[in-house]
């Protein structure tokens, strides 16, 4: 009889954080602190990029790991530890965002978004030799921060989870309560807008080409 | 290939270069379309820039408060554990 593949994450991929999590589940505080030490930077980065505010990001980090403690018994390994933690962080970040915007709680994703609505590229050019050749590190960071902050919240969150944190489309959809199709459209919108913005700053004008709208 | 079909395929091509091999129509289009080649290249570089960014430093004062809050919560969760 064929053995069905397990969907349990533990069996499918090495999760560097799983041994620490398992020890923490038995009350090993040092293991928990080690896990925090290794993940807090990523949690902070996700929160800061979504919220754009240091204090708000700190609050999310705090809430996230307190929640991890509270629900640590419930982690069964259906996802990687990091994915689980980042999903908790994303939920807190989104709650904070909705509160700031004066919006009600979770908005249901009932509208199918379309690729037809994605704006086409306008400024198309090669980037100059090295993206940081004319900008120093802090100027580049400032540019990247500004560009990502200019994205609509719903596109920014997808970009942060998919492209920066490298969650899969399915994980991102589950974390945000979106359909896979909407994740894909929002991701493309985010990528195209960031591309447009950065190319206007980093592009070589001499290589600029006109967009071809025939196709 | 229409514009909308191209946009639909763009994410997959960016994420997985082997998808290009499977998507002959897209590959053929790219081969003959410099603007689209540039857009695909720009997007790849954009993503890489964000991935390569240094982590945001967490303020030290926050780290201390943060640790104290964990210890307190841990003692409640695991009353007999050594903290």
- Domains assigned to chain A: 9-101 (1.10.1740.10), 115-207 (1.10.10.10)
Residue B72 has pLDDT above 70, yes or no: yes
Please, are residues A29 and B78 in contact by the beta-carbon 8 Å criterion?
yes
Between A27 and B60, the higher pLDDT residue: A27
To the nearest 10°, report the CA torsion of A171, A176, A181, A182. Answer: -150
pLDDT at A84: 94
Residue B63 resides in a domain: yes
| pTM for this prediction | 0.84
Best probe of the A interface among B1, B5, B6, B7, by most A CBs < 10 A, is B7
pLDDT at A114: 78
- The helix (H) or strand (E) run that includes residue B3 is helix B3-15
Q: Which burial class, exposed, middle or buried, applies to A199 when counting CB atoms under 10 A from its CB (0-12, 13-18, 19+)?
A: buried
Q: Do B8 and A115 touch (CB under 8 A)?
A: yes
Instruction: Return per-residue pLDDT of chain A as tens, 215 residues.
Output: 433 333 334 434 578 999 999 999 999 999 999 999 999 999 999 999 999 999 999 999 999 999 999 999 999 988 899 999 999 999 999 999 989 888 765 554 556 777 777 888 999 999 987 655 667 888 999 999 999 999 999 999 999 999 999 999 999 998 898 999 999 999 999 999 999 999 999 999 999 998 765 55
- Which of B11, B34, B69 lies at the smallest CB-CB distance from A184? B11
Domain count, chain B: 1
Q: How many CB pairs under 8 A join A and B?
A: 127
Is A65's Cβ below 8 Å from some Cβ in B? yes
Determine the distance in angstroms separating the CA of A196 from the nearest CA of chain B, rounded to an integer: 9
Q: Do B6 and A210 touch (CB under 8 A)?
A: no
pLDDT at A163: 95
Between B10 and A183, the higher pLDDT residue: A183
pLDDT tens readout for residues B19-59: 555 567 777 777 778 888 899 999 999 999 999 887 888 88
Residue B82 resides in a domain: no
Please, are residues B43 and A192 in contact by the beta-carbon 8 Å criterion?
yes
Between B69 and A102, the higher pLDDT residue: B69
Between B1 and B67, the higher pLDDT residue: B67
Sign of CA dihedral B45, B48, B52, B56: positive
Residue B83 resides in a domain: no
pLDDT at A8: 37
A203 strand-pairing partners: A127
Residue B54 domain boundaries = 3-77
Alpha-helix runs per DSSP H in chain A: 9-12, 18-25, 29-51, 54-71, 81-101, 137-149, 153-159, 169-176, 180-202
- Which of A32, A187, A209 lies at the smallest CB-CB distance from B34? A209
Mean pLDDT of chain B: 82
pLDDT at A11: 38
pLDDT at A6: 36
Helices (H) then strands (E): counts for chain B:
5, 0
């Amino acid at each position: 009889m064929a053995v069905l593949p397990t969907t349990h994450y533990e069996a499918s991929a090495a999760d560097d954080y799983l041994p620490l999590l398992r020890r923490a589940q038995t009350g090993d505080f040092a293991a928990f602190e080690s896990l925090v030490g290794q993940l807090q930077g990523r949690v902070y980065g996700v929160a800061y990029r979504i919220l754009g505010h240091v204090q708000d990001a700190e609050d999310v980090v705090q809430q996230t790991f307190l929640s991890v403690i509270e629900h640590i018994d419930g982690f069964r390994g259906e996802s990687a530890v990091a994915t689980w933690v980042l999903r908790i962080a994303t939920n807190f970040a989104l709650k904070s965002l909705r509160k700031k915007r004066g919006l009600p709680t979770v908005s249901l994703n009932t509208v199918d978004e379309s690729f037809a609505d994605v704006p086409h590229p306008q400024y198309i050019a090669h980037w100059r030799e090295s993206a940081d050749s004319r900008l120093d590190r802090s100027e580049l960071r400032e540019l990247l921060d500004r560009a990502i902050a200019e994205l609509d919240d719903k596109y920014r969150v997808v970009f942060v989870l998919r492209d920066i944190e490298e969650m899969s489309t399915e994980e991102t959809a589950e974390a945000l309560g979106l359909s896979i199709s909407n994740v894909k459209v929002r991701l493309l919108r985010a990528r195209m807008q960031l591309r447009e913005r950065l190319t206007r700053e980093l592009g070589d004008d001499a290589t600029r080409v006109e967009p071809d709208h025939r196709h | 290939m229409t514009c909308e079909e191209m946009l639909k395929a763009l994410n997959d091509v960016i994420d997985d270069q082997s998808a290009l091999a499977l998507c002959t129509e897209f590959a053929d289009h790219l081969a003959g379309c410099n603007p689209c080649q540039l857009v695909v290249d720009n997007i790849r570089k954009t993503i890489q820039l964000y991935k390569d960014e240094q982590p945001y430093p967490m303020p030290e004062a926050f780290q201390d408060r943060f640790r104290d809050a964990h210890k307190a919560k841990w003692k409640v969760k695991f009353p007999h554990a050594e903290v």
